[in-house]
Structure 1
């Protein structure tokens, strides 16, 4: 029972975050804040990636294990999984770097 409530709460929070990112993207576009548009666009990509990637990655890893193949770039299966775990972190890092450059640019224009 508790796990169902936690699962529903997680989905509701993800939907709320997605809606807030869309609103932020829209407001940034209206105010011509190009770096903010990139920031929110990358966060939306991150949110969509978090829903789409796990089943696809699981199918790919299962295929690698059943067919006894080597992952991309000659990595072991553990190294490949660790490499895939960095992708969402890199997306968020790039988003925040875009935001920081945009805010710094705005700061320099006002000074």
Structure 2
């Protein structure tokens, strides 16, 4: 019997591709701008991070507090703009206004 892969695992595997990650983040940001649901945008950042490394390693290398990052990803804390910019920068992305 063939084992199945859950959607999160599938998505994380797809997000290892840099171009796919970029499009995923762009789509998540556009969705946020339309509906104001910041939690979905933040979740998309978490998925992209997990596709590349652990949250702990990412936080350490980005100079972010690991506990705060977990709090943001668990919807217990609201991210500051500079935190979002640090995350995007560390992932190799830039925020542009069109």
User: Which TM-score applies when normalising by structure 2?
Assistant: 0.31
Q: Which has the higher Rg, Structure 1 or Structure 2?
A: 1
User: Which TM-score applies when normalising by structure 1?
Assistant: 0.29
